[in-house]
Amino acid sequence: MLPELESISLTALKPIPTVIHQHLLSRWREYLVVSGLPRKVVATYIAMNAASPLERFNAVREKQYALIEGYRSDFSKHSGTVNANHIDHVFTAVPHQLSTSLDTSAKRFQFAGIIPQQARFRNLRDPIGWYKKARLVIPTLIANSGEQPLTHTHC
């Protein structure tokens, strides 16, 4: 299929043949599940090339869960003066809120309800700062318009 893939022009606005499109969609789905993860996760997927897709994805998912649990167990070891329970609450809230934003119900990260009785950003500044320092989250600014240069509001 490589010659067919190489012949596709991204600048020409003509449809990709269905068989190639289906192949690319399949590879895209694999990429969404596996790629960008630590080498051990990707290596597990590659090493299981002869297994069924379901077996490969299940093995990857096990490695992903182990990675998440490793992060959680490290919170208390590396949190210093920041409350490890607060770090864990934020860790759970970020992917949950990001997944609900796909249906546009969440316009921005909501701080209320993450840590009981602490609904404001200043109360979560230390755990979020800890994540930024550990490079586990990347805060983004909200753009006010799509014009150059982008203007933003601070979170």
| Same domain for 87 and 74 | no
Which residues are CB-neighbours of 152 under 8 A, at least 6 positions away? 141, 142, 143, 144
DSSP 141: P
pTM to 2 decimals?
0.59
> DSSP alpha helices (H): ranges in 48-134?
53-78, 84-100, 121-134
Residue-by-residue pLDDT tens, the chain, 155 positions: 667 767 777 777 777 788 888 988 988 888 888 876 788 888 888 899 899 989 999 999 899 889 888 888 888 787 776 788 888 888 888 777 777 655 555 566 677 778 777 666 776 788 888 888 888 777 777 666 667 665 555 54
| Same domain for 120 and 55 | no
Domain that holds residue 49: 1-8+16-78
Number of folded domains that form the chain: 2
Length of the chain: 155
| Same domain for 112 and 42 | no
| Same domain for 154 and 88 | yes
Q: What is the largest CA-CA distance in the chain?
A: 60
For tokens 């002869």, the residue is: 50
| Same domain for 113 and 146 | yes
Give the domain-ending residue among 58, 78, 98: 78
Give the domain-ending residue among 78, 113, 131: 78
For residue 152, the cross-strand partners are 143
